[in-house]
Structures are given as C-alpha cells and as structure tokens.
Amino acid sequence: MWGYNWVVIKVATGDASPFAIIAMRAVFGSLALFIIAALARRPLKSPPILATALIGLFQITLLTTFQTIALATGGAGKTTILVYTFPFWMALLSVVFLDERMTRMRLLAIAVAAIGLGFVLYPIDFGAGIMSKVFAICSALSWAIGSVLTKRFRMKHDVDLLAFTAWQMAYGAVPVVIIALLVPGTYVHFSLPFVAAMAYIVLLGTALAFWLWFFIIERLTATTAGISSLLAPVLSVLFAWLQLHEQPGLPELTGMALIVLALVINSLPMRHAS
C-alpha cells in the first residue's frame, strides 16, 4: 500500500497544493477509522491524550507534511528512498530508548540494506533539489521518532489499536488543517484523477496502512519492523518507473536487489525463533 501510495501522492499534487493534500489525508483518514470503529462497535474513547497527541505530531503532522512537500518538489522514486532511511534512525533510537539488542543478523541486514540504499541513491546531486532531499530526511527522522514513541506507548498502555490509530491521526490532523488554512496559495481542483487518487491515499495509504503499521510494530521489534518496511521503496521505484516513467538505472536495480536480500536476512532470525 505504501509502495504505491508515493506515486499516487505525486499524481494528486498535480491538482492540489501539498498542504491541502496533507490536511485531507489526515482528516478523512481519521474519519474513516472512526467510522470503522463505530461499525465494529469498538471503544471510541481517546487513549491518554498528551502521549497520543505527541505520537500524532511526529507520525502524522511532521511525517506527512515533510513527505508531501518533498514529493511536490522532487521525484517520487528518489524522495521515497530518502524517506525510507527511517529504519536506520529507528534502529539507533530503539537501542537507546527501547533497550533492543542488535544481533549479528540484524546488523548484517542493516549493513546490506544501507549499501542497497546507497546504490539506489547513486548518483545523488545534493546541489540539485536540495530542499526536497532535506524535507525527505526530516520526514524519515519524524517517522523514526514517532514509531519508537508508539512502541513505548503500546508497551505501557493496553488500548484498542483501532481507536489509538484513529485518535493519534485526528490529533495529528489539527496542526496540518491550521497550516493549510493559513498558508497562501492552498488550492484544490476536484478532477476525476484527483478524487480517485485521494480515495486511495485516504483509505488504503493512510487509514488502513497506518493501522497495519502499528499492528506490526506492536508485535515485532522496532528494528525488524523498520527493515521489513524497506520493501515499500523498492515497490515505489518500480511503480514510479511504470506509471511516471522515472526509469531506474543499473545502480538503482542493484540497490533494490540488495534491499530484497536484506529483507531475507532480516527474516531468518524470526524463522529460527519459530
């Protein structure tokens, strides 16, 4: 879902300003989750407000804001790869704040994945589109911090996952709506492609994808979950090639192969543990 979501966001920026997309994504994504929770008769009471709102700030407000601006000013493929440096930041933070142990296999998977990302990013000109790259890296840091905060929160509080996902998204939506209303030049053109793109972004790329992400990091270590998510940028590069004609070169294809190898290595301890 996230692999293709990047391409869809890039398409949506042709008919709306980045802040309008961010606001609609967060508001309608949280609304969809609340409706699903109500239909499923799940508890709708907010988890601890301050902690949930802090997670929403990093996981929704900052992540999606930086991410969408980066996409609006740069290519979908390279932007996605830079945002997906977040597993490496997450691995470092998890050692410090979650006391996770770095096994040899995890270190090997991280090393192989890092080399793969290096190939995908090569050649990267930091002088061209520098702001897009800066926003993409800021998005990665926000995602890593938000994921570690989520892991700590779920370890301390036994709350309904669907309600938690909906509320942190709702809290995170408040700042982006204010920004969208205050920033000059915010616009939306409701064309058929835009409506179709937003339907995917809201329902699959936001509501369902974030619920699945929280489900995953609750059951796996932060490092394992982060490395596993690296399949998304591989798919994003392929989708950007097919739909946006951002053709990957040999270094990018080599890097994607190494990332897939890292995913295989990352899965080995889980198979042995079972």
Written as one letter, the residue type at 29 is: G
Cβ pair 55, 142 in contact under 8 A: no
Task: Compute the CA torsion angle 9, 206, 200, 29 (nearest 10 deg).
Answer: -110
Burial 123-132 (b: 16+ CB within 10 A, else e): eeeeeebeeb
Gap between the Cα atoms of 19 and 37, Å rounded: 27
Asked if the peptide bond before residue 251 counts as cis, ω within 30 degrees of 0, the response is no
Gap between the Cα atoms of 224 and 232, Å rounded: 14
| Coil, helix or strand at residue 153 | helix
User: Can you give the pLDDT at residue 170?
Assistant: 95
Reference 91, options 106, 77, 76, 78; nearest CA is 106
| Local confidence pLDDT in tens for the 274 residues of the chain | 888 887 888 788 889 988 898 899 999 999 999 999 999 999 888 999 999 999 999 999 999 888 777 877 776 556 767 787 888 888 888 887 887 777 788 788 888 878 887 776 666 555 556 777 788 889 989 999 999 999 889 888 888 999 999 999 999 999 999 988 988 888 899 999 999 999 999 999 999 999 999 888 888 887 778 777 777 777 877 887 787 777 777 877 787 788 888 877 876 654 444 3
Which tokens go with 267?
């899965």
Residue count of the chain? 274
Please give the tally of structural domains in the chain. 1
Reference 143, options 37, 229, 241; nearest CA is 229
User: Can you give the pLDDT at residue 69?
Assistant: 79
User: Can you give the pLDDT at residue 87?
Assistant: 81
User: Can you give the pLDDT at residue 76?
Assistant: 58
Which tokens go with 142?
């926000």
Segments forming the whole domain that contains residue 231 = 2-273
| Coil, helix or strand at residue 17 | coil
User: Can you give the pLDDT at residue 272?
Assistant: 43
Q: Answer yes or no: pTM beyond 0.85.
A: no
User: Can you give the pLDDT at residue 92?
Assistant: 81
